[in-house]
Amino acid sequence: MKDFKVVQIPAMEDNYFYLIHDRVSGKTAAIDPGQSAPIEQVLAAKGWKLDLILLTHHHLDHVGGVVDLKKVHRCEVVGSEFDKKRLPFIDRALREGDEVHLGEAIARVLDVPGHTLGHIAYYFEANEALFCGDTLFALGCGRLFEGTAEMLWKSLQKIAALPPETLIFCAHEYTAANARFALSIDDHNSALLERAREVESLRKQGRPTVPSSLGEELLTNPFLRVEEGAFRKSLQMEGKSSAEAFAEVRRWKDHFHG
């Protein structure tokens, strides 16, 4: 990612907003700016102008800063075609396979519904980076607010098919809580045990656990592991489809209080 810089901005209680900067063109984009002030502070410190805003879905903690930022910077705003009535400030509506250009950096749009019906993600293939909002988290996945479990499972399969070195830039710091749940159902997973120790150490130091690599997630994220025979057997779900097993694990997580 030599010519592609990502600045991760912690905000609110546990959100991450992102600025991505293409060093070749000097253009800058914000991803899911739920507030304008944290974005403005980083732009001012870096001496950057905001050219583009990329939105993954319509929830307020992802879009709350858009109107103010657009007013100040007169930047383009892009988001899901499905959500264009809920995102009246977007300038370009996107669907699966569309491309978004930020100077030399190019993102391909993935439809990843489930958390919301119009959720999309941005895959910068040449930069090995995926900005996936609330679809996939480090050691977890989004809640089913609008879509079905089968819908979210298909979205996660789409992400899982990307190269394992892809960095997963999700929108929340939920990893410590997700690790506790993962350990409750997958405590014989040596990769998960090691990762949980690393997560605990990072959080004690006040450091982020995001991004993670897709390869890490495939080894340790229970929502991506339900197709593995030994894991599914340990869950006593041998007779269920992958989508059914995923739905059951998602229900367990919804009621987990560990």
Tell me the C-alpha to C-alpha distance, in Å, between residue 136 and each of 15, 29, 48, 204: 14, 21, 29, 23
Q: At what angle do helices 242-254 and 149-160 cross, to 10 degrees?
A: 110
Active-site residue, from 32, 111, 134, 186: 134
Active-site residue, from 21, 58, 119, 172: 172
91 catalytic, yes or no?
A: no
73 catalytic, yes or no?
A: no
61 catalytic, yes or no?
A: yes
Active-site residue, from 21, 32, 58, 59: 59
**What's the rounded Cα separation, in Å, for the pair 43 and 75?**
13
257 catalytic, yes or no?
A: no
59 catalytic, yes or no?
A: yes
Q: At what angle do helices 190-204 and 175-185 cross, to 10 degrees?
A: 150
Active-site residue, from 22, 32, 51, 61: 61
Closest CA to 33 of 62, 11, 59: 62
Rounded to the nearest 5 degrees, what angle is found at the Cα of 16, between the Cα atoms of 256 and 176? 30
User: Is the Cβ–Cβ distance between 251 and 222 less than 8 Å?
Assistant: no
**What's the rounded Cα separation, in Å, for the pair 29 and 100?**
11
Active-site residue, from 21, 62, 73, 119: 62
Catalytic residues: 57, 59, 61-62, 115, 134, 172
